[in-house]
Amino acid sequence: MDLKQIRYFVAVAKALNFTRAAEQLHIAQPALSRQIQLLEQELKVVLLSRESRPLQLTEAGRIFYEQSLQLLNRVEVMKAATTEVGLHQRPQLSIGFVASTLYGGLPILIQKFRHAYPDIRFHFLELTSSQQIPALRAGRIDVAFGRVRIHDSAVCRTVLREERLVLAIPPNIDLAQDTGPVSLQVIADHAFIVYPKSPRPSFADHVLNILHDNAIFPTEVHEVLELQTAMGLVAGGVGLCLIPSAAQIRSDLVYRLIDDEKVTSPIIFSHRKNDNSWYIAQMHTFIEEMYAEKPPWLIPGHSALSKRPPPC
């Protein structure tokens, strides 16, 4: 098996047609078919069901296609990184993040990295937690900071912290007359706003699951795309919204901590499984340093990273 065969297979798997794939690859169709047959013979499995039109991937073919995409993307990343070093260009670190992490520790981590490694060029992509997984698998990003637990066999996750949730309240209602902790049950008497509405699963699902588990059903639920939009609707009196404690971004709202310590949102650091790149260990080091410094946004809430997690 070589990279040429893998690229040929990926082209066929995308086109689901040998003729179109051969045209895209600029080779003869019989030669392409022969290469796929040789690949199947080596793997001792059938990758493509040829009886159907269009072609269909077998279960083994789907797995091989998924792994092939990862491999080819990693090869491209490896080529680019090698070229950068060879040409004395700045190395790049691509970070995916959900917006709410910008109100907590992510800016501090970036500052620490930039101070320690001034030659690093950063590339940032704002992605929901569910979007981060395929981006990691495809090599579009190197590490990610999200808020939703999503299992994927190719991704290693570390829960850095369980952050307490607070209730964002319009300033002109009775609930806003106090600033102390408040029961989650008060949400049942109000309209409620969640974000993001897509893609799912998302932080919206995490919050709605918390309400469902506590048998709390708001009078109505509004789904919006972004945290900023949700906060704007709260300010307009449309409803209440549960947000991470660090994300108190508007000064014209009242924020009350939920009095249940179990009502939290995880902050999750993710990277590709078995990725031993130097920046993974360095990121953990900076995270430990940051939590040891006890930044003001850390309270209320607590760090869940008492020791460096085992490699995965």
Domain identity same for 151 and 105:
yes
Nearest-angstrom CA–CA distance, 249 and 228: 8
Domain identity same for 12 and 135:
no
In sequence order, the 6+-apart residues with CB closer than 8 A to the CB of 96 are: 124, 125, 126, 127, 131, 132, 135, 136, 140, 141, 143, 144, 145, 146
Query: Are the CB atoms for 98 and 147 separated by under 8 Å?
Result: yes
pLDDT at residue 207 in the model: 96
Domain identity same for 259 and 166:
yes
Domain identity same for 152 and 280:
yes
Domain identity same for 255 and 166:
yes
Query: Are the CB atoms for 298 and 186 separated by under 8 Å?
Result: no
Q: 16 in the Ramachandran plot: left (φ > 0), alpha (ψ -120 to 50) or beta?
A: left
Domain identity same for 176 and 239:
yes
Domain identity same for 146 and 281:
yes
Prediction pTM value: 0.67
Nearest-angstrom CA–CA distance, 289 and 281: 13
Domain identity same for 226 and 150:
no
Identity at 211, one-letter amino acid code: L
User: Residue 131 maps to which CATH number?
Assistant: 3.40.190.10
- Choosing from 72, 99, 132, the residue where a domain stops is 72
Question: Tokens 């990295």 — which residue?
Answer: 113
Nearest-angstrom CA–CA distance, 35 and 42: 11
pLDDT at residue 85 in the model: 60
| Residue at 204 is within a domain | yes
| Residue at 312 is within a domain | no
| Residue at 192 is within a domain | yes
Query: In Å, what is the CA distance from 93 to each residue of 2, 64, 120, 161, 267?
Result: 28, 28, 7, 23, 20
Domain identity same for 216 and 129:
no
| Residue at 279 is within a domain | yes
| Residue at 310 is within a domain | no
pLDDT at residue 58 in the model: 93
Total structural domains within the chain = 3
Domain identity same for 18 and 29:
yes
Nearest-angstrom CA–CA distance, 5 and 283: 36
| Residue at 81 is within a domain | no
* Coil, strand or helix at 235: helix
Residue 220 has which token pair?
């109505």
- Over its length of 312 residues, how does the chain's per-residue pLDDT go in tens digits? 889 999 999 999 999 999 999 999 999 999 999 999 999 999 999 999 988 888 899 999 999 998 898 888 878 877 876 776 666 566 789 999 998 888 878 999 999 999 998 888 899 999 999 999 999 998 899 999 999 999 999 999 999 989 999 999 999 999 999 999 999 999 999 999 999 988 888 999 999 999 999 999 999 999 999 999 999 999 999 999 999 988 898 999 999 999 999 999 999 999 999 888 889 999 999 999 988 888 776 665 444 454 566 667
Nearest-angstrom CA–CA distance, 188 and 186: 5
pLDDT at residue 306 in the model: 46
In sequence order, the 6+-apart residues with CB closer than 8 A to the CB of 175 are: 167, 169, 182, 186, 190, 240, 254, 256
Burial 229-267 (b: 16+ CB within 10 A, else e): ebbebbeeebbbbbbbbbbbeeeebbbbbbeeeebbbbb
Q: 158 in the Ramachandran plot: left (φ > 0), alpha (ψ -120 to 50) or beta?
A: beta
The CA-to-CA distance between both ends of the chain, in Å, stands at: 27
In the Cβ-directed half-sphere of 17, how many Cα atoms lie within 13 Å? 7
Domain identity same for 167 and 258:
yes
| Residue at 219 is within a domain | yes
Q: Domain containing 260: what range? A: 162-264
Question: How many C-beta atoms lie closer than 10 Å to residue 290's C-beta?
Answer: 21
| Residue at 292 is within a domain | yes
Domain identity same for 154 and 270:
yes
